[in-house]
Amino acid sequence: MESIPKSKKTAGLTADIIFVVQICLALTLGVSQFVKMLASTQGVSASMFLFTDIFFSLLCWMAIIANKKLPGRMAKETIVVYAMSVIVYSVLLIETYVKAPVFWEMSDWLTAGLVAAGIVVIVAVKGIKKWELAEPYLKTGLAMVFKAIPQLLLAWKIFQVGGGGVSGLWILSFHCFTISRLVPLVILNRESKWDRTRKSMFLSEIANEVSWLAVTLAWLLRVGI
């Protein structure tokens, strides 16, 4: 019976540890924000939750495609993490609908308008580049539009009205959660020599993290630690 190389065993163990950490962070992120919003929804954005749902749905779709091209345990775990993220933000969106005095504000219409404009630009680029619907970078552009724009406008909203409904643990765990997803993507990209699908997933997560830094700064300025 052929033995499994030690390096592969170590890589598998590392992947499993990262997976468990991601699940814990997703639960921490979701539960902390859910509890915070029971008391206040100040600074919370319904459009951000909605478009984040779409963002993770796109990443989940990309992860499923990547797994078909190069199946593996870590790839399957990535799919589970993205699917769980969709569930978490769906719950937060529903809670916003139930708890917020006004579910969809003018800032949400502005966010939706900018996202729509971003989609128009991406569709135009698709036509110029003659991309197919399966083009990974097309999905990257859509993921950035659905995540980076809403988060930047969330940062502006928190700076304007305050962040009494935004959990500090959500802010912190969001960073940790994103970084924990970037690590296995780097590992997977090394295994597949940075194929276009996984590279596009990596770029999507980078945009996610950079825009969340703006949210963090706004929260620190208005609420503090």
- Which tens digit of pLDDT belongs to each residue from 206-215? 888 999 999 9
Query: Could you tell me if residue 181 is inside a domain?
Result: yes
Query: Could you tell me if residue 4 is inside a domain?
Result: no
Query: Could you tell me if residue 91 is inside a domain?
Result: yes
Query: Could you tell me if residue 194 is inside a domain?
Result: yes
pLDDT band at 154 (very low <50, low <70, confident <90, very high): very high
Query: Could you tell me if residue 29 is inside a domain?
Result: yes
Average pLDDT over residues 156-162: 93
Query: Could you tell me if residue 15 is inside a domain?
Result: no
If one counts the domains in the chain, the total is 1
pLDDT band at 6 (very low <50, low <70, confident <90, very high): low
Q: Which domain holds residue 32?
A: 21-97+104-222
Report the distance separating Cα 58 and Cα 145, nearest Å. 11
Residues in the chain: 225
> What tokens appear for 2 in the block?
């052929």
Query: Could you tell me if residue 2 is inside a domain?
Result: no
Range 144-178 burial, b when 16+ CB lie within 10 A, else e: bbbbbbbbbbbbbbbbeebbebbbbebbbbbbebb
Query: Could you tell me if residue 11 is inside a domain?
Result: no
Report the distance separating Cα 101 and Cα 32, nearest Å. 20
